[in-house]
Chains A and B, each alone.
Chain A
Amino acid sequence: MGAIKSAPAAVLNEPVGSIRGGTSLVLSHIGKSFAAGAGVFLAVEDVSLTVSPGEFVAIVGASGCGKSTILRMIAGLETPDRGDIRAGGTPVAGTGLDRGLVFQEPRLMPWLTVEQNIALALQNVPWTAAQRSAVIEEHIELVGLNGFAQAFPRQLSGGMAQRVAIARGLVARPEILLLDEPFGALDALTKVRLQTELQRIWQAEAITMLLVTHDVEEAVFLADRVVVMSPRPGRITAIESVDLPRPRDRAAADFVTLKSSILAALGET
């Protein structure tokens, strides 16, 4: 696997269809402030985190704890005021094809079909048309949307649209997939189903995933480690390892215990 540069014109050296691993992600003493009226609001204060290649890390916290801000800084949509972010050893400077992002809303282009929406991610990837169709088809299958390639977003349910967004996030073969409360807008049943899907996809793709959520159960179900953050100012208060074997049983005693202790940690703000 070749190293992937963060620059927009990333050149991907692997052949289509290979199994990939993710890269590491290192945040060192990240800080970010926003102007607010007369003063300044400290959204994120001195956050440091190391994510191993292929690891699944979840960040939980109440609103305003800066978890989305951190994700956007890793994605390159915002820049930290202090500190350093490195993806696979390379400093992060702006967006890059090595990092994919799934937003809370699917954010699909209403005028493009499912297939075209996913293809949008391949605009700047130097593959042939044949390679593109192959990888798009592969990812449509990966997210379980066989047969919907020609559908328009308005014909999809919320869960299906979000799956398309996930496929779009993965199709350019990023090293890291960032997910910003991806299931927040969905009903409980769809949410559980998609969480299972996401776990399956992660195991299939074996890339690094960083999930931001306010749903502790979701975090414990999916992640290797759960980072607990608290607001005002946003900082990490705890990091819990989830050593449970997958697939995880939400009703199991150790699952519930872990979930409770994390909820307790969240409550201490």
Chain B
Amino acid sequence: MTAASRVNPLTGLILPVGLVAIWQIAAGTGAIDPTIWASPAAVLQQTRAALADGSLLADLAASLERDLAGLCLGIPVGLAAGTLLALSNLADRLFNPSLTAIRQVALFSWVPLISLWLGSDDTAKIAFVSYAVFFPVMLNTYQAVHGADQKLVEVGRMLCLSRIQMLRRIILPAALPGIATGVHLALIYGWLATIGAEYLFSAGPGIGSALMTGRAQFRMDMVIVGMAAIAVVGMTLNVAAGYGERRLLRSRGGAGA
């Protein structure tokens, strides 16, 4: 009945190419104010310049360094907290309500407080990133460990596994996919928090700071180059994490009997 539609990959390009074309034409004919709106050509030129003098890569490196530091702090704490709350009924009832309440406060509202406590340099930014990363990891770990398939846990009981054996051989392996999801989210949120931190804390090297500088100088071309860099890094992290998750699942034999 239905003829096989020839999926033309070019249809996906119609929109972006069209938009960029309209943009370039508008800039070229002066329909939009060139002192405010950069043209695609200007953006390309700025990209080349920023790459050539190394500023783009230096900024990215500075941001990524901070991102990494925050991840290294936030992820282990999140893992530990999630596991503890999932395994200990008492800890769960004691701490979960408080953590849930704290989580209600929008992420960036913590920035003024952190800036008062820790100042505005790298320490503060890294602390903020760690906080941003903590909750996704903790929540996903908690769900994964808590929700470990009870049927498999019963098998462990039948085999008379000790508490530690049960944890090591059944609960944690069963929870691994969920934990991996938490780490995936941590990568995404961590990068977001890194950029945001650079806006709100004082200047220093970083791609977010470069964006703010570009804005202050009304250099939209710089801003767009920065945006593209942020998007590229975010996308890379996302894809890498997804790939890692799939590899993990495959090596474990996937969803089994």
Contacts and interface: CB of A to CB of B under 8 A. Distances in A.
Contact of A110 (B154, B160, B165, B257): B257
Interface in B127-160: 151-152, 154-155, 157-160
B158 A95 contact: yes
A137 B225 CA distance: 62
Interface in B211-257: 252-257
A124 B157 CA distance: 12
Given A97-B160, A103-B151, A154 B253 contact: yes
Interface residues of A, number: 34
Contact of B252 (A110, A155, A172): A110
Interface in A103-131: 103, 105-113, 120-121, 123-124
A99 to B, nearest CB: 8
A66 B174 CA distance: 30
B32 interface: no
B148 to A, nearest CB: 11
Contacts of B254: 110, 152, 154
A101 B253 CA distance: 24
Given A109-B152, A111-B252, A120-B169, A8 B257 contact: no
A100 interface: yes
A172 B160 CA distance: 11
A161 interface: yes
A112 B217 CA distance: 59
A153 interface: yes
B158 A158 contact: no
B168 to A, nearest CB: 10
B72 to A, nearest CB: 26
Interface string B76-118: 0000000000000000000000000000000000000000000
Contact of A123 (B159, B174, B176): B159
Nearest to B154: A77
Contacts of B162: 8, 124
Contacts of A121: 159
A103 B154 contact: yes
Nearest to A164: B257
Given A120-B159, A124-B160, A152 B253 contact: yes
A106 B256 CA distance: 10
Interface in A147-176: 152-156, 158, 161, 168, 172
B170 interface: yes
Contacts of B253: 110-113, 152-155
A155 B254 CA distance: 10
Interface in B163-216: 165, 169-170, 173-174, 176
A96 interface: yes
A123 B255 CA distance: 24
Given A111-B253, A153-B253, A158-B257, A77 B157 contact: yes
B161 interface: yes
Which 4 A/B pairs are nearest by Cβ-Cβ distance? Answer: A110-B256, A152-B253, A153-B256, A111-B252
Given A97-B159, A153-B253, A154-B253, 12 more contacts: A95-B159, A105-B151, A107-B154, A108-B256, A109-B169, A109-B173, A110-B257, A112-B253, A123-B161, A152-B254, A154-B254, A158-B257
5 contacts: A103-B155, A106-B257, A110-B252, A124-B160, A153-B253
Interface of B: 151-152, 154-155, 157-162, 165, 169-170, 173-174, 176, 252-257
